Structure 1
Amino acid sequence: MLKIIHPVAGALALLTIGTFWVSTALSELFASEATVSAVKMTIPWGFLLLIPALTAAGGSGFALAKGRRAGLIGAKLKRMPWIAANGILVLIPSALFLASKARDAEFDPLFYSVQTLELVAGAANLTLLSLNMRDGLRMKGWLRARPA
């Protein structure tokens, strides 16, 4: 069962974060302030999907690792604290702050500074999660490792 839960939860988390990032970038670049507000106020509701997906992916990954720490498993495990810290310390507080500012239509320099921070941190988490997915696919034999 863990062999099903882990990739499904990981893919769901990656897609959710990607959706947050793309919807934020597109709304900021091409949409009205009303659309930006709607996006920013909707993202925290997405945490109801994202947090359980990340928890399930992390928990099932640790269980599947069975104490092993070498090779691709080790690389994945080294990324996880960075992913979690980035999410807990930067992304969640930023999203909640931006939702509050957007609700009040306060699109000031502080809003855009935090928005920039959120986009950079989100891109970092997308990169780290994508690397974990790549390594997981290599471990399953679905992707070949590149020759050195």
Structure 2
Amino acid sequence: MSKAIHPIAGTVALMTILSFWLATAWSEAFAGEQAVTTVKTLVPYGFFVLIPALMAAGGSGFRLGKRMRGPLIDAKKKRMPFIAANGILILIPSALYLSFKAQAGAFDMEFYVIQAIELIAGAANITLLSLNMRDGLRLSRRRARRPDASGA
């Protein structure tokens, strides 16, 4: 079951974070304050998709990784604490703070500093999750190429 859940949950998590990042960048670069307010207001609601997806990906990955060894597994395991800490300590608090500020119409220097931090931290998580996905795909291809142990 973990073999099916892990790639789906990981993809949902990555696409959700990517959509947050792209919507934020687009609204800041090409739209007005109303669009920024809408994006910043909606992002926390996306946590209802993102957090379960991350939990499912992390839990199923942990379960799958127990039985596997090698440099790709080690690399994925080393990235996960940073991804989790970045999300819990920077991204979630930033998103909630920016949502509050945007709804209050407080587009001040503090808003834009936190926004820049959030975009940088988000880009880091997108990169790390993408690397984990790449390594997971490599692992899947290796398993698919192995001859069946039953001799069939």
TM range, smaller chain: over 0.9
Distance in 1 (CA, whole Å) between partners of 2:138 and 2:128 is: 15
SS in 2 for 1:107: coil
Partner of 2:92: 92
Distance in 2 (CA, whole Å) between partners of 1:3 and 1:79 is: 20
Offset of residue 12 of structure 1: 0.2
Offset of residue 20 of structure 1: 0.1
Distance in 1 (CA, whole Å) between partners of 2:39 and 2:61 is: 31
> In angstroms, what is the RMSD of aligned CA positions?
1.0
Partner of 2:120: 120
Mapping of 1:13-92 within 5 angstroms?
Answer: 13-66=13-66, 68-92=68-92
Over alpha carbons, which structure has the higher Rg? 2
Offset of residue 67 of structure 1: 5.1
Residue by residue over 1:92-146, the C-alpha shift from the partner in whole angstroms, topping out at 9 and shown as x without a partner, is 000000000000000000000000000000000000000000000000118xxxx
Q: What is the number of equivalent residue pairs in this alignment? A: 142
Segments of 5+ residues of structure 2 without an aligned counterpart are: 143-152
Identity of aligned residues (%): 63
Residue by residue over 1:43-73, the C-alpha shift from the partner in whole angstroms, topping out at 9 and shown as x without a partner, is 0000000000000000000001125453111
Q: Higher mean Cα deviation, 59-68 or 11-20?
A: 59-68
Partner of 1:141: 141
SS in 1 for 2:116: helix
Contact 1:69 1:77 in 2 (8 A): no
Contact 1:101 1:111 in 2 (8 A): yes
